[in-house]
Amino acid sequence: MLGIEPYQLISFLRQLGLALAGAASLWGMVFIYLGSKRGPNDPAAVILMWIGWRLRYLLYGGGALAISMWAAIAGLVPASAHEGITLIVSFPEILQAAQNLLPVYLSLTIVLIYGLIKKNFKWIYLLSFILVFIAISHYTDFRGLPWREIVFHAFHGFHSIFTLGTVLVLDFMFLSSRSSSILQQNIFPLFPKISKVIWIGLSLDLLSVLLIFPAAVILSPRFFFAQTVIGILIINGVLLSGIITRRILSLLHEGRAEHSRRWLLFSNIAGTISVTSWLSLTFVDFFPSLTLSYSQLIGLYFSAIAALFIFHEVWNFFDKKYQPATP
């Protein structure tokens, strides 16, 4: 239906889980390290450590999704030989890769279980990131492929940690800090720095495409939709990491938190666009035979933005109502 095969949907969900787990591990490591390097009386140290520990929820959510989707693929049927379909990954190639990665996913499962017992997340984040990086880079069978296509697939896999996964981490940080001006003052300055990693991830993906250009380019509604979303991402990213964030920080620094609400709304809209855009790009990437027209894809895209914005506002309402513990 709509050109979507069940194994492609499972592969997309696995990629989503790996991207989220990988980014949570990466930034969890970074924040715990930065927090530990500050003095014990530095309030920023407490907040950085709090963020680092809080990201374990994303690690376990993403890890559980990735492992369950891997098990769904690996346990289907015995894999057949490489079919020679390279740029568009076939089911046998995905299945073979899933079965080859059995030690990686078993190790990730053990690491996550160990983390629940020992709670030493400095090492759990490191080990999880290494395992996720391997898993997300090998979503297809590399045997018999030329080096350019191996690099293409590897880059095309792990860039999701720096793009989709990092955008989700940023969104989680924004939602977690929106109800507290103290958290905003310490967390929002990190956003432009983290956003640079997203641009690096996008550059890696574009570089991987150049290695096999023009074989990777198929002029279809799916292609034109992706280019439209990339254009929106670039404009939105410049606004979000530039004028919007600077204005919010300026108002908070001046002690005018009440005046920052409008800009927080703008930030919420921009963040919603960013998350939806990266989810959309990743989604269409996994369905080469998608039959939706360009207008249908755009309609679904803006509908998803509206739905995610409403979710953000509901989250913020309950976050303010119940005032969860902050550092």
Q: Which domain holds residue 40?
A: 6-322
Structure pTM?
0.86
Report the distance separating Cα 162 and Cα 28, nearest Å: 13
| Average pLDDT value over all residues in the chain | 82
Whether residue 315 is contained in a domain is answered as yes
Instruction: Measure Cα distances from 278 to 61, 209, 248, 271 in Å.
Output: 18, 17, 24, 11
Residue 316 forms part of a structural domain:
yes
The alpha helices in the chain, defined as continuous H runs, are 6-37, 43-54, 56-74, 91-100, 102-118, 121-137, 147-160, 166-177, 181-187, 190-211, 221-239, 245-253, 261-285, 294-322
pLDDT for 152-179, tens place per residue? 778 878 889 999 999 999 999 988 887 7
Residue 327 lies in a domain: no
Q: What Cα–Cα distance (Å) separates residue 260 from each residue in 122, 178, 315, 323?
A: 35, 11, 19, 19
**In-domain check, residue 1:** no
Residue-wise pLDDT for 233-249, tens only, equals: 888 888 877 788 777 77
Q: How many domains would you assign to the chain?
A: 1
Could you read off the pLDDT of 30-83 as tens digits, one per residue? 999 988 888 767 878 888 999 999 999 999 999 999 999 999 887 654 444 333
Q: How far apart are CA 42 and CA 44, in angstroms?
A: 5
- Measure the CA–CA gap between 144 and 126, rounded to whole angstroms: 31
Residue 123 CA: distances (Å) to CA of 35, 60, 63 = 15, 15, 16
For residue 48 the two structure tokens come to 């950085």
Q: Token pair for residue 308? A: 């995610």
The token pair that represents 280 in the structure block: 């959309």
Tell me 292's DSSP state.
-
Instruction: State the residue for tokens 């790009």.
Output: 281
Tokens of 175: 């939602």
How far apart CA 242 and CA 222 sit, in angstroms, is 30
